Chain A
Amino acid sequence: MELYRLTAHELHKKLVNEEVSAEEIVESVYGRIDEVEDKVNSYITLTKEEALKKAKEVDEKIANGEKVGPLAGIPIAIKDNMSTKGVRTTCASKILHNYKPPYNATTVEKLFDADAVMVGKANMDEFAMGSSTENSGMKTTTNPWDLDRVPGGSSGGSAAAVAADEAIISFGSDTGGSIRQPAALCGVVGLKPTYGLVSRFGLVAFASSLDQIGPFSKDIRDCALAMNYVAGHDKMDSTSAQVEVPDYTKALGKDIKGMKIGVPSEYFGDGIDKEVKDAVWKAINKLEELGAEYEEVSLPHTDYALSAYYLIAPAEASSNLARYDGVRYGHRSEEANGLVDMYKKTRREGFGDEVKRRVMLGTYALSSGYYDAYYKKAQKVRTLVKQDFERAFEEYDVLISPVTPTTAFKIGDKSNDPLQMYLSDICTIPINLAGIPALSMPCGLDSKGLPIGLQIMGNHFEEEKIFQVAYAFEQETKHHKEKPSL
């Protein structure tokens, strides 16, 4: 089998047994990129030269008999909203088209320390705002399962890269579903960790109280491995949690007998496609066969989460994105007359429609006279949504639901109707408001042959329980072995 088809843990074995070199692995992945990238468009920037250099370093270490970790020599894609020193970091926005940061994000630094090899920077919805990657100011990424369809978003490039074997593992960010939704639509594994578990330092902020970095992978073991290296406290991020990071792979293979699963009925409403619901129920039944117990549970404020999210996230975004003003970095309008005009024209030329819309919405929601009615109200509702989960986790180990109402939709289908696009985030958004972890993994294909995602949610810092359940399901069903025929 081609090396690019393998997982990180499979490649690691071959590497330490000296069956293959890191250079061969990296070359194999770039060969795959040469083959399919013009169809999939996962990447904004490729960093082949640096990647091969890093691969050679890994090979030297191995040749010298040094012990290398599980991510050593593994080709990894990084979403283009994570700061990479000397490598263009655009957030898929024209306003940052030429920005080269002088520092690395903590996550990137940790991956480099683990000897991972960065293949390139992955495409995304501009500033992570969107659910289809159609909002990229750079290019349109397609779904490797059907090139006429969207890969999901906002981390569409990261998801598509793993689905199309253009990277072994990738990293994305999830503010309202931006890892889980594209993972579902592309048929790969994606985890949004507990808020505060992975440092946000160097992640270009969209909505600071919701943003969280997480991995995409081809199977659960790789996901757990990746988390072993990026989780943990960071003194550069004040909101980073002071928790001990376990070895997540230890949770894999543990029996799930007697585990209690909650099935939130609000996540199976009318808006959810029947094929999706059926696949998720089938998965729940499979887990029951494996010895878990399930019960339906109500999370009564689910319906309000979306509205709260679409006030909180744009409000924070309007402030976070104010710094793109053409003074210190990025695009500056050539047309302007005076400072204020320069600001206005720079931002007009540099931002795409969705970003402008959310900046406008957020500015309005924070403005004098509306703060209490919108932003503060939304934060109170956030408390209620959070309490729903707190109550549920008193009873259940994990909660299980669909990730998305439908499988991948066609490019262009929803791009003119922002509200419809927002509604597609209905199953993922409450998780961000509560700050809990949730994983998306493949649970079968629909009648069109498109992947369906299964969402497993856990309580704060209980990623291990999620991995335990996810691994049991994966090993039993092998849905992750289904691949697109690119």
Chain B
Amino acid sequence: MLDGYEMTVGLEIHAQLDTNTKIFCSCKNEFGGEPNTHTCPICLGLPGTLPVLNEKAVDYIIKAGLALNCEIATFSKFDRKNYFYADLPKAYQISQFDLPFCEDGEVKINPEGEEEMIVGITRIHLEEDAGKLNHDGDISNANSSLVDYNRVGTPLIEIVSEPDIHSPAQAIAYLKKIRSILEYIGVSDCDMSQGSMRADVNISIAPVGSDKLGTRTELKNMNSFKAIEKALYYEPKRQKKVLESGGEIVQGTMTWDDEAGKTRAMRSKEEAHDYRYFPEPDLVPVVVDDQWVAKIKEEIPELPDTRQKRYVEELGIPEYDAGVITADRQMADFFEGVVSDYDNAKAVSNWMMGDFLRLLNEEDITISEVKFEPKDLAQMLKLMDDGIISSKIAKTVFEEMFATGKTPDTIVEEKGLKQISDSSELENIVSKVLEENQSAVDDYNSGNKNVIGFLVGQTMKATRGKANPGMVNKILREKLEG
């Protein structure tokens, strides 16, 4: 699509940490809430106030660093990033400049339709989030804005990628992998719709084989995978067009107009930023020793890659299926819950990959919102194995479980879905079906043996699917041949 050019993408992922309190004060760290009800003199930046670091936030960034294979800095410090904006109460953001907590990490990704690859992580640093601006309509048209400082001081980690990403599929796979890992280790809920995970996307193109990167443009605060993917198809093409018509790429911030499906240059005059970083005099350095790192290491659960490998090797799950199930920690936990009650793991994974995922998608809910328990699914699978329900009826039972949360036993009982395996009962039904379908019987007798399928169907219909299909087949043959 970019013949002659290659795109390079840099991603700066911001993830809010799921601590109880804010990073530098004891206000509740919570999404939403009535405007300005989670504020105090410290996060409002009132004159004279000072920050004190939340230890949990440091635990969490170390955890993220370890899970993303980073080196953890033994000596780390905070710096001030100075700029004026209405959402920034102190007119500086406490962040980290030259000594972040984590550096030199990497993560393995499986981009759709491409080879498995490694993406390097330059660094992860800890900083505070800003407030939120509200306006009537679009910011560029609003005559005034209203500021809510509830979000100010939410702990954020910023994960900066190496320039290893060269396609939209790689970018998406990387984002999904980071989200998956952060969720696994429980440091962030990574809910993009609530802004607890968002990304700045840098995009540049350069002639294939060039060892220099092109001038980049940046899309800030992107909070949907779909928008990022679309922008990554659009922006390099735009850049190529500019270059090929003899123009130059202007380095700067652009916005993604999702409706128009285009990037646009920011309308406001983009000034050269000069953040005047300097060491934060109000905070002291953080020294992380081996003991601290070891303690956090112990808290890290089995991560998706390891889990996937185990599912493939020990449970015989196809690699792709194992990948899908392990990408979401809750999904994988659910899967293991079922498997602990039911030992045919392959059958479990088939159900999860099939009807389960389909219904989750149709209803647009996450696995935590599912009404039934893993043991219910295990019970349903056992009912199938025991011949109490057919696989066809199982579909009905599953849909009912999904909709109501009732146990499979209850559903089978209430709806009378128990398979009919009583041979005398089935013989009566089959005889009736044969009587009513004399022409089919004639066809059979004149050599068209295939009509047996039709007759099986009619029998199933007469029992509303409850007949044991194997027995129906057997009885039909006996009667027709007899």
- Whether the Cβ atoms of A202 and B282 lie closer than 8 Å is no
B53 at the interface (CB under 8 A from A): yes
How many B residues touch the partner, as a band? 20 to 34
Stretch touching chain B among A1-9, A317-325, A461-469 = A317-325
How many A residues touch the partner, as a band? 35 or more
- Whether the Cβ atoms of B89 and A328 lie closer than 8 Å is yes
Task: Write out, one digit per residue, whether chain A residues 178-212 have a CB within 8 A of any chain B CB (1) or not (0).
Answer: 00000000000000000000001111110111000
Residue in chain A with minimal CB distance to B275:
A368
- Whether the Cβ atoms of B281 and A316 lie closer than 8 Å is yes
| Distance between B359 CB and nearest chain A CB, rounded to angstroms | 48
A238 and B53 in contact (CB under 8 A), knowing A96-B47, A204-B47? Answer: yes
Task: Report chain B residues within 8 Å CB of A375.
Answer: 278
A371 at the interface (CB under 8 A from B): yes
A323 and B274 in contact (CB under 8 A), knowing A82-B48, A209-B281? Answer: no
**A367→B47 CA distance, assembly (Å):** 24
- Whether the Cβ atoms of B274 and A208 lie closer than 8 Å is no
**A329→B51 CA distance, assembly (Å):** 19
A237 at the interface (CB under 8 A from B): yes
Chain B residues 230 to 289 lying within 8 A of chain A, measured CB to CB, are 274, 276-278, 281-284
B45 at the interface (CB under 8 A from A): yes
Task: Report chain B residues within 8 Å CB of A363.
Answer: 276
Stretch touching chain A among B61-69, B78-86, B156-164, B429-437 = B78-86
Task: Write out, one digit per residue, whether chain B residues 41-53 have a CB within 8 A of any chain A CB (1) or not (0).
Answer: 1001111111111
- Whether the Cβ atoms of A329 and B281 lie closer than 8 Å is no
Stretch touching chain B among A26-34, A100-108, A418-426 = A100-108
Task: Write out, one digit per residue, whether chain A residues 306-321 have a CB within 8 A of any chain B CB (1) or not (0).
Answer: 0000000001101100
- Whether the Cβ atoms of B84 and A343 lie closer than 8 Å is yes
**A319→B281 CA distance, assembly (Å):** 11
Task: Report chain A residues within 8 Å CB of B52.
Answer: 235-238
A486 at the interface (CB under 8 A from B): no
Residue in chain B with minimal CB distance to A364:
B276
B90 at the interface (CB under 8 A from A): yes
- Whether the Cβ atoms of A204 and B48 lie closer than 8 Å is yes
A327 at the interface (CB under 8 A from B): yes
A237 and B48 in contact (CB under 8 A), knowing A327-B147, A328-B89, A368-B274? Answer: no
Q: Across the A-B interface, how many residue pairs have beta carbons closer than 8 Å? A: 102
The 8 Å CB contact of A328, one of B44, B80, B274, B284, is B44
A322 and B91 in contact (CB under 8 A), knowing A238-B52, A316-B281? Answer: yes
| Distance between A393 CB and nearest chain B CB, rounded to angstroms | 23
A91 and B276 in contact (CB under 8 A), knowing A208-B282, A319-B92? Answer: no
- Whether the Cβ atoms of B47 and A323 lie closer than 8 Å is yes
Task: Report chain A residues within 8 Å CB of B86.
Answer: 327, 339
Task: Write out, one digit per residue, whether chain B residues 138-154 have a CB within 8 A of any chain A CB (1) or not (0).
Answer: 00000000010000000
- Whether the Cβ atoms of A238 and B48 lie closer than 8 Å is no
- Whether the Cβ atoms of B49 and A202 lie closer than 8 Å is yes
A409 at the interface (CB under 8 A from B): no
The 8 Å CB contact of A239, one of B82, B276, B282, is B282
- Whether the Cβ atoms of B48 and A319 lie closer than 8 Å is no
Task: Report chain B residues within 8 Å CB of A105.
Answer: 48
- Whether the Cβ atoms of B46 and A329 lie closer than 8 Å is yes
Task: Write out, one digit per residue, whether chain A residues 52-84 have a CB within 8 A of any chain B CB (1) or not (0).
Answer: 000000000000000000000000000001110
| Distance between B144 CB and nearest chain A CB, rounded to angstroms | 9
B-contacting residues of A (Cβ < 8 Å)?
81-83, 89, 91, 96, 99, 101-103, 105, 200-205, 207-209, 235-239, 315-316, 318-319, 322-323, 325, 327-329, 339-340, 343, 363, 366-368, 371, 375
Closest 7 CB pairs of A and B: A322-B91, A366-B276, A208-B281, A209-B281, A204-B47, A202-B48, A83-B48
Not counting A238-B282, A316-B281, A366-B278, a sample of 12 additional A-B residue pairs whose C-beta atoms are within 8 angstroms of each other reads: A81-B48, A89-B48, A101-B48, A103-B49, A201-B50, A202-B49, A238-B51, A239-B50, A316-B278, A318-B82, A319-B91, A371-B277
